[in-house]
Structure 1
Amino acid sequence: MTNSSHFTRRDALGLAAGLVAAAALPGRVWAQAWPGKPIRFVVPFAPGGSSEIVARATAAELAKLLGQSVFVDNKPGAAGNIAMAEVARADDQHTLILGHIGTLAVNPYIFDKLPYDATRDFKPISLLAKVPSLYVVRADLEVKNLKEFVALAKAKPGSLSYGSAGNGSAGHLAFEYLKMASNTFILHVPYRGTGPQLTDLMGGRLDAAAVGAPAVLQFIRSGKLRCIATGTPQRIAQLPDVPTVAEQGFPGFEMTQWYGLLAPANLQQANAERLAAAAAKAVKEPAAAKLLETDAAIPVGSSAAEFAKFIALEQQRWKPVIARAKIKPD
């Protein structure tokens, strides 16, 4: 009887110790086991274009590095605000979103009210890639570079025009930024999309535009458009002879469309750190880098801290540009 009760007490103590140990484990096991199911990678824009290429290139490599499938889910609408708001509220630890210059550095200043907080609701994970913005003019405009273009704009204020894909578009912002930096007045003509504005630019009905490299490289190479500057910090491999805006008298100038990986703010820190390391590696893998290169995108793969700092700097860059140009969404 004594042996039996002694055994029972030891057993009970062992069971209690086991329960205490088990109670301490879930967080660690959760972090180690993450991701425990397929990861949903939301893209806040329609399929096609640079956002799609950056997301798919990243997702394919992330799946290999994390040992779990990563599927891209396009959710366009309201300049990316619908998807951003949905992912901000996601609490399944397996939903991510493609951050963008528009949703993180522009929308906070052009919309009176946003359904998400760009800083508070998300954890920056990694700056994935930058797509160069190119400043182009019609082939018969009598300027060979940015300095000559600025001189012409100053000599004839308001006589030159530039097109964009719409109010608040990257091209609109890029040109307003150039106007602010160069203190020039150039007329803005908004279009519904990149295609129509390029048609009018090559047809001579516009003088200039700022457009993402993938859409215009073919026209620059064929001589239908002239590139007078790149918005990148360094010259791009596809146009080695074209100097940057910064090189041509505007130090510190940068205009690129950029894409990064974000998670909801509630993603556990251990999971966020594992994801950041994988994302930084993913975009530099040969297959991803090759896919990005087809879109003239430059792989970055930053740390989470570097991406957070970059977002803050971009917000500082665009806030005064938007205020000066009184940019409002269509």
Structure 2
Amino acid sequence: MKRRELLAAVPALAAAVLPSWTAAQPAYPASPVKVLVGFPPGTATDVAVRAVSEQMARRLGQPFIVDNKPGAGSNIAAKAVATAQPDGYTVFAITIANVINAAFPGANAVDPLKEFKPITLIGNVPNVLVVHPSLKVANVAELIALAKARPGSLAYASSGIGTSPHLSGEQFALMADVKMVHVPYKGSTPAVTDLLGGQVQLMFAPASTVLPHVRANKLVALAVTSPRRTSGAPDLPTLDELGLKGFDTSVWMGLVAPAQTPSSVIGKLRTAAHAALDSSELQAIYKAQAIDVLKTSDEEMSRFLRSEAARWSKFVQHTGIKPE
């Protein structure tokens, strides 16, 4: 075959070969999907993600393997996913911690707006304002009055500098115009342990972490930090209801994939996740852990992430909080 004839034949050859090659590609997912969580097992995020992942696996016919990689406010897991192959086989459990991490000037954190493609939000668990019984306050008004009468004498625990419980305390102090001492811990477990022992007087902590201690009368719950009351503790008022208008530091969580993941793959993951969130089995697990169901489109989640990033960037700049 002459060179000119060979060149002329290339398009036809490509057309003949391409359909068979395309047809040979396996439908997604053809192998297990890994879901990275930036917090230890047993946390609210871990519980929510495992419940969703189990249901998604049933619907998509492949295992969804939850891999806990705690550290650096979940930034270690975030970086692992941001740099993974964008093929839909590595997914990240994004939370409020990731937009807070990125809000610190000069932070070596993953930019959740640029490095991920949204799948869907999956849940929200409010922080609960709890106090040690020895403080002898029955409501938020009494706590504020006590803090004003004894400025700088009340200590509040958190799971670390820059975490949602920490910023809950900072926002409370700012809006209530009180001075308190922040005592950071390396995680919620040691923080709650010292709160139960009376070494610190109060804490903002995820509902699933502290409500069992409230029910056992070891801690006193005063309010939740979400805009609306939570189904897990419907009798607890919101701080917004109690006069701290706009107070919201609830711990939201969702699923994202590397930024270049194909939209068709994202769509399959979203459809499976939404079906999971609609299941009565998952909703029972959520209710037991005081987690409220969230469900969003890609555009709704994108708008939400942009709003959260702007809100926390402004707050960090205003308060001058420095990362660990």
TM-score between both structures, scaled by the size of structure 1: 0.86
Residue 55 (1) aligns with residue 49 (2): yes
1:196–1:43: structure 2 CA closer, same or farther, 3 Å change rule?
A: closer
Give the CA RMSD over aligned residues: 2.7
Deviation (angstroms), 1:18: 7.5
Counterpart of 1:244 (choices 223, 238, 241) is: 238
Out of 97, 100, 112, which is 1:102 matched to? 97
Structure 1 CA distance, aligned partners of 2:33 and 2:194?
42
Change (3 A) 1:166 1:20: same
**Deviation, structure 1 residue 230:** 0.5
Alignment match, 2:64: 70
Instruction: Between 128-137 and 307-316, report the one with greater CA deviation.
Output: 307-316
Instruction: Quote the residue 2:198 is aligned against.
Output: 204
Larger radius of gyration: 1
Q: 1:285 aligns with which of 257, 271, 279?
A: 279
- For the Cα contact (< 8 Å) 1:176–1:321, is it kept in 2? no
Aligned to 2:3: none
- Select which of 27, 30, 40 maps to 1:33: 27
The Cα shift of 1:278 comes to 1.9
For 2:205 and 2:109, locate their aligned partners in 1 and report how far apart those are by CA, in whole Å: 29
Cα deviation per residue 1:161-193 (whole Å; 9 max; x = unaligned)? 211122223211111121222232111122333
CA 1:24–1:75: 2 relative to 1, 3 Å = same
- 1:111–1:329: 8 Å Cα contact kept in structure 2? no
- Please tell me the residue identity of whatever aligns with 2:139: N
Q: Distance in 2 between matches of 1:186 and 1:206?
A: 11
Q: How does 1:295-314 map to 2 (within 5 A)?
A: 295-314=289-308
Give the letter for the 2:260 counterpart: N
Q: Cα distance, 1:137 vs. partner?
A: 1.3
TM-score (norm 2): 0.87
CA distance in 2, matches of 1:117, 1:166: 20
- Is the Cα contact below 8 Å between 2:231 and 2:292 reproduced in 1? no
Name which of structure 1's ranges 127-136 and 16-25 shifts more when overlaid on structure 2.
16-25
> What is residue 128 of structure 1 aligned with on the other side?
122
Specify which of 229, 245, 253 is matched with residue 247 of structure 2.
Answer: 253
1:221 corresponds, among 215, 239, 248, to 215
Matches within 5 A, 1:170-185: 170-185=164-179
Using the alignment, how far apart are the partners of 2:55 and 2:203 within structure 1?
35
Structure 2 residue runs without a partner (length 5+): 1-7
Which position in structure 2 is the counterpart of 1:143? 137
The answer for unaligned runs of 5 or more in structure 1 is: 1-11
C-alpha change, 1:146 and 1:24, in structure 2 (3 Å) is: farther
Cα deviation per residue 1:168-227 (whole Å; 9 max; x = unaligned)?
A: 232111111212222321111223333333343333332211011122112211222111
Q: CA deviation at 1:91?
A: 2.0
Residue 268 (structure 1) shift: 0.8
8 A Cα contact 1:96 1:264, kept in partner: yes
- SS of the aligned residue for 1:37 comes to coil
Identify the residue that residue 6 of structure 1 maps to in structure 2: none
Between the two proteins, the alignment pairs up a number of residues equal to 317
* Aligned 8 A contact 1:281 1:301 in 2: no
Cα distance in structure 2, aligned partners of 1:324 and 1:118:
21
The corresponding residue for 2:5 is: none
Q: For residues 215 and 309 of structure 1, what CA distance do their matches in structure 2 show?
A: 29
CA offset at residue 17 of structure 1? 5.4
| Partner Cα distance (2:109, 2:222) in 1 | 39
Q: 1:261, CA displacement in angstroms?
A: 0.2
Provide the C-alpha distance between the structure 1 equivalents of 2:183 and 2:167, rounded to a whole number of angstroms.
13
Structure 1 pair 241–28 and aligned structure 2 pair: CA distance change class (3 A): farther
C-alpha deviation, 1:78, in angstroms: 2.7
